[in-house]
Amino acid sequence: MNLALIALGALALIALLTVVTVIALRNGIVSSKNRVKRAWADVIAYQRRKLKVIPALEQGLEDHQAYEQGVLQEITALRTAVGRLQEGSVDVGQLKEVSQHSKALLTGLQVAVEAYPNLKTSELYAGWMRELSEAEENIAAAIVIFNASVHGFNDRIQLFPGNVVNSWFTRETTLDTFTDNEAQDEFEYQPRFRPQ
């Protein structure tokens, strides 16, 4: 009788521990996904913050008669691309487009500055460029944090026992990290990962 009770108690304890573990794993996956979303929202927020510097830049270019059609076009293209980024859905493809326009704008600005030396020596211009460069650094850092969050999330849903819990309850799919294709193209070596 006593033995049966002990066995029953042990079974109940194991069942309880299993339930608690499953709940913890499921909540871990959900909170990890939420962290990815927050990290993505940070990337967008810093992209938008960069846009706030641009009106001042436009005004500065006009004040110095450094009216470069190419630069102004890039500003418009960047605004449109950033506007397409949505906090609700993680879209690294769209982020790549924003990144390309940012680079093109910075190149265009450098060309404009070389052509207008009085703009180069302007204190205000130096301030914009510092602000723009800090915005770019913060975007790069936000992307690093976003990628780390995505790695953490992917590990949670791919590694045992998280993969079992994911297949039962959350049914999440792996997310893509943001990679800079231009930087990657400079390497001759390209790893070949087997699809999982």
Partner 1 sequence: MGHNQQLDTMLAQIRQTAEGAREEKDFDSIFATLREFRDAVGPIRYDNRSKWYVCAALAVLGGGFALAFFLNPALQRALDIVGYGILGALALALIVVLLVIAFANSSIGQISDLIFRKDVFFDNRLQEQDIEGRGRDMYEHLYEEFGEFRCRGDEDRYIERLIRGQWSGREHSFPYEHYVFHYVRVYYVPVTKKIGKTTITTMERRTQTLHRYGLLLDFPFAERLAVHSSGGDYDYPVRHEPTSEDFNRVFTTVADSEHAAVKFLKPAVVLEFLEMSRMFSGLNLEVGRNGRMNVAFSDSDSSRSSSIEDPDAFEAEVKSDLALPKLRRLMTFVETLKRYNDSNF
HSE-CB of 137 using CA atoms within 13 angstroms: 6
State the Cα angle at 87 between 83 and 89, rounded to 5°: 105
| Residue 51 is a binding residue for partner 1 (CB under 8 A) | no
**Dihedral angle sign, alpha carbons of residues 82, 87, 93, 96:** positive
Q: How far is CA 188 from the centre of its chain?
A: 25
| Residue 98 is a binding residue for partner 1 (CB under 8 A) | no
Helix (H, G, I), strand (E, B) or coil at 85: coil
> Binder to partner 1 among 28, 77, 148, 177 (CB under 8 A)?
148
Compute the distance between CA of residue 45 and CA of residue 137 in angstroms, rounded to an integer: 13
HSE-CB of 88 using CA atoms within 13 angstroms: 0
**Considering the complex, what minimum distance in angstroms separates the CB of residue 3 from partner 1?**
38
| Residue 127 is a binding residue for partner 1 (CB under 8 A) | yes
**Considering the complex, what minimum distance in angstroms separates the CB of residue 142 from partner 1?**
4
> Binder to partner 1 among 141, 164, 176, 179 (CB under 8 A)?
141
> Binder to partner 1 among 58, 68, 91, 131 (CB under 8 A)?
131
**Considering the complex, what minimum distance in angstroms separates the CB of residue 51 from partner 1?**
16
| Residue 103 is a binding residue for partner 1 (CB under 8 A) | no
* Best CA proximity match to 78, nearest among 37, 114, 107: 107
Name the residue nearer to partner 1 (CB basis): 22 or 56: 56
The residues that touch partner 1, with contacts defined as CB under 8 A, are 35, 38-39, 42, 46, 124, 127-128, 130-131, 134, 137-142, 144-146, 148-149, 152
